[in-house]
Amino acid sequence: MNKLRIAGIGLTAAAALTLTACGGSSDSASSSSSSMAPSSSASAAGSTGSPDGVTTNADVFGPACGQLPQGSAPGSLDSMGPQPVASAASTNPLLTKLVAAVKATNLVDTLNSQEAITVFAPADPAFAALGDAKFAELAGKPAELAPILQYHVVGKRYDAKGLAAAGSVDTLNTAGGPVKLEGSGENMTINGAKILCGNIPTKNATVFVIDKVLTPGTNK
């Protein structure tokens, strides 16, 4: 974790992996394939929980999960699972802007090298809400973007049930204050952001694609 803090001084989902931005919060999960997570109502959205925060494809939930490629195609759950988080996000069609942000801050290797983290990854529409001009400005200023991205990364691995039990978690951007979790399962919010596709497993992280870019200092 020290390595990650030094490298980004602040990864946050805004750019930490460009944090895989995810698309359309209104799309409904359609998981007819065994490789896709059940719909938002399936498995009670991670109701079984895991003491180490590790999830499986069966634990994935949320209205945008059906937008992920299926089978073994790049960006599918089967494809992302064995890969470290930044590499997995780079193939996810929902997180193209987040990935761009992570690359702009040179955080790819840093994120991939972590052993167990949680990533709140803003979907593409979340970054689009900032406006193209603002996003381009941030991408051109890594020192300002890194702390935002760092606020989207937790130095411990949590699944949805673990986050609900915690209530709030500290991020790699400690100066930004904690991130607040309210509700549970498919109704959980992260600093007010809705989960579009949660409990996504990667080799070293559990990922929650969300509909907003989190702002450091919100809960200070």
Nearest CA among 171, 149, 160 for reference residue 207: 160
Mean pLDDT score, 129-154: 90
* CA–CA distance, 10 with 6 (Å, rounded to integer): 9
Nearest CA among 115, 129, 152 for reference residue 16: 152
Q: How many domains does the chain have?
A: 1
Mention every residue, 6+ apart, whose C-beta is less than 8 A from residue 2: none
Identify whether 186 is part of a domain. Answer: yes
Identify whether 151 is part of a domain. Answer: yes
Mention every residue, 6+ apart, whose C-beta is less than 8 A from residue 81: 57, 88, 201, 202, 203
- Containing structural domain, residue 166: 2-210
Residue 200 has pLDDT above 90, yes or no: yes
* CA–CA distance, 106 with 26 (Å, rounded to integer): 32
Across the chain, what does the average pLDDT equal?
Answer: 82
Identify whether 220 is part of a domain. Answer: no
Return the percentage of the chain with pLDDT > 70, whole number: 78
Identify whether 215 is part of a domain. Answer: no
| pLDDT value for 165 | 95
| pLDDT value for 12 | 37
Residue 4 has pLDDT above 70, yes or no: no
pLDDT 10s digits, 48-62: 468 899 999 999 999
| pLDDT value for 145 | 93
More reliable by pLDDT, 53 or 14: 53
Identify whether 194 is part of a domain. Answer: yes
| pLDDT value for 130 | 84
More reliable by pLDDT, 135 or 93: 93
Angle at 207 between CA 23 and CA 99, to 5 degrees: 60
Whole-model pTM above 0.85? Answer: no
Identify whether 216 is part of a domain. Answer: no
Q: How confident is the model at residue 195 (pLDDT cuts 50, 70, 90)?
A: very high
More reliable by pLDDT, 114 or 51: 114
Mean pLDDT score, 162-173: 96
Domain with 156 in it: what CATH number?
Answer: 2.30.180.10
Highest average pLDDT, of 101-105, 137-141, 183-187, 205-209, comes from 205-209
Mean pLDDT score, 82-98: 96
Q: Which residue is listed with tokens 């490629």? A: 69
DSSP strand pairing (189-190 vs 193-201) = antiparallel
